[in-house]
Chain A
Amino acid sequence: MRYHDPWYDALASGWGELDGAGVPAPEVPYARREDEGRALRAGDVYVEVQRSAAFQEVRSRYLRFVVPGMIVFLAWYVAYVVAATTAPGLMARPVAGAVNVGMVAGLGQFLTTFLLTWAYARHARLRRDRAALELRWDTQELTRGVRGGVS
């Protein structure tokens, strides 16, 4: 029985290996095919997919979120650590009751971590997952075509 859902399909397939159960026997016996030619053509599939507009779109959506996100939270964290070690006076300034600037900044780190986690998950779910799934499916179809001679 073969699942036609690529998420399941992936469990049976390996890194640079032929699929397990369910794939029709290759028309040409395995031993006769030239390994290098096969690898080259399978590699070509990935180059082709990488150059496709669909993949470039997924890639740039990922990078457009992750790069600014990383810069923002690393800068915020480094600023926090540097402020805590070099400007304790600023951090000790009271805000309300016993709570001071340092406490607010520390809890702010927790808050931004939770917020960025939520934003990342939402961005990935809405902007990336669907396109990535389709690309995965297409890529696996292409490599299967190249490798097995059938699809």
Chain B
Amino acid sequence: MTGNHQTLALLLFSGFVAVTLGITTWVSRNRHGSAEEFYAGGRLFSPMENGFAIAGDYMSAASFLGVTGLIALYGYDGLLYVVGFLVAWLVVLFLVAELVRNCGRFTLADVVAARMSERPVRIAAGTSSVTVSVLYLVAQMVGAGSLVSLLLGGTSPAARAWTVIGVGALMVIYVSLGGMRATTWIQIVKAILLLSTTVALTVLVLVRFHGNVDQLLLTAADRSGHGLAFLAPGLKYGGDWTARFDFMSLGLALVLGTAGLPHILSRFYTVPTARAARRSVIWSIGLVGAFYLMTIVLGFAAAAIVGPEAMRKSNAAGNTAVPLLALDLGGANSTGGTVLFAIVAAVAFATILAVVAGITLASSASVAHDLYASLRRRRAKPYSEVAVARTAAVGIGVIAIALGLLARDLNVAFLVGLAFAVAASANLPVLLYSLFWRGFTTRGAVWAVYGGLIPALGLVLLSPVVSGSPDSLFPGVDFQFFPLQNPGLVSIPLGFLAGWLGTVTSTEVPDEAKHAETEVRALTGAGAV
């Protein structure tokens, strides 16, 4: 990439950082420092604002760069990801958004702990939330690191390391100073930037092909070298049965994982009522759906216009498909191309930054509100929770920077899929059981969390991702035992099974009054904060 690209991209990105830091300062100017303010932004966002923020939280760099790259390289098989990412929102809308808004205050553990013996449940749910967040966070940090070396030309390890450190430092500033209010506004700004860039690119693609989608698909198939097989499933996941089961596992994790992601759950608390939570999910389904439809067009367009050789040369995983497409759409070797390329690069950075801030906030809430509140000494000062959360944001930032530097050679899409699998295995069963099962007990809740979390993480340790294959983390050793890369197919049913088993074996009599309270509150909103 030439110097012009770099300077302009850096300039635009600095503009975004300046604007977001401005927002953070402006927002924190008259904050009250209450937990309500820090975790939930005062709960006064409108459904439309929150819908944009949710969409901003969800449309990560993994979808903007990773999924378009997969479509550009593997055609139809990349599209399968997109479908899973979108359909998942129906689970959120039907079963989770309104009920969680009505029952909880700040975190997932609030919903579960209301019915159960509080301490063990809070510790379990807090642990799994932090685990999911850290996995997701590492994926974004790794993405930031590879993005900088790909887009700004600096492939040196030092440039990567400094990018990861810089992103981490910025996210700590946003979160610890601005809390949920600043984070939400950053998400909104980023969602608007990302959507308008995607719309502009899609329009340019359609203009290039005179609105003829059929011709776009045929050109893509032709140029890919696979012919019409490019437009049908099987190029990436069609090999042996292990690959096919791996894909089913991923599909299950994607569709069930969204409803267990802590940073998505915490967004429902930023609106005043369950009805507003429902309307914000509807907004985000519209926005996310439109975005993914456009990424399909962009992915096939990258295959048709840029071609697989150029993409593979730039990045073997296809992560640079969209920036390369932008360069060509704006006119290669012209000012238009440079500008468009720089805009796409800056928006991709902004995406990573905003998503990272959202996850950090959610996990600092879990640390302070669930783990610290359960483990601290009884007579701690009552106002310390927000202070703890701010400190936790710094701590999580440091951990994420360290892990991001260590794991920089791992595949970003894999890490995101893993975070979804852990969320679906550890968080979703306990959430659904406590909302809908009258006889659910404390032991069931604790078992459901650990019974999903431990198998999910354990199976990854024993999978080819960690050892036993040339691409794995430790190619030298071989303790591979589990053939699939994504544990979801096994660990999600295990989470549900463990919750059921723990409940039927426990001697505890389920508290009927508390179940009545949860059910009435969940469906009517009585007593909701």
Contact = CB atoms under 8 A, between A and B. Distances in A.
A88 B232 CA distance: 7
Contact of B94 (A50, A82, A120): A120
B90 A116 contact: yes
Contacts of B84: 77, 81
Interface string A37-62: 00010011011011000010011001
A117 B285 contact: yes
A129 B80 CA distance: 35
Contact of B214 (A47, A73, A98, A114): A98
Given A85-B233, A136-B524, A15 B516 contact: no
Nearest to A81: B251
Interface string A67-82: 0011001100110111
A150 interface: no
Contact of A88 (B95, B98, B238, B282): B238
A131 to B, nearest CB: 9
Interface residues of B, number: 62
Interface in B507-529: 512-514, 516-517, 519-521, 523-529
Given A98-B218, A136-B526, A120 B233 contact: no
Given A113-B89, A117-B90, A143-B526, A106 B79 contact: yes
Interface in A76-135: 77-78, 80-82, 84-86, 88, 91-92, 94, 97-100, 102-103, 106, 109-110, 113-114, 116-117, 120-121, 124, 129, 132-133, 135
Nearest to A137: B526
B214 A99 contact: yes
B244 A15 contact: no
Given A50-B520, A97-B214, 9 more contacts: A44-B513, A50-B519, A70-B95, A84-B237, A85-B238, A85-B244, A85-B247, A124-B278, A135-B523
Interface of A: 7, 10-11, 13-16, 40, 43-44, 46-47, 49-50, 55, 58-59, 62, 66, 69-70, 73-74, 77-78, 80-82, 84-86, 88, 91-92, 94, 97-100, 102-103, 106, 109-110, 113-114, 116-117, 120-121, 124, 129, 132-133, 135-136, 139-140, 143
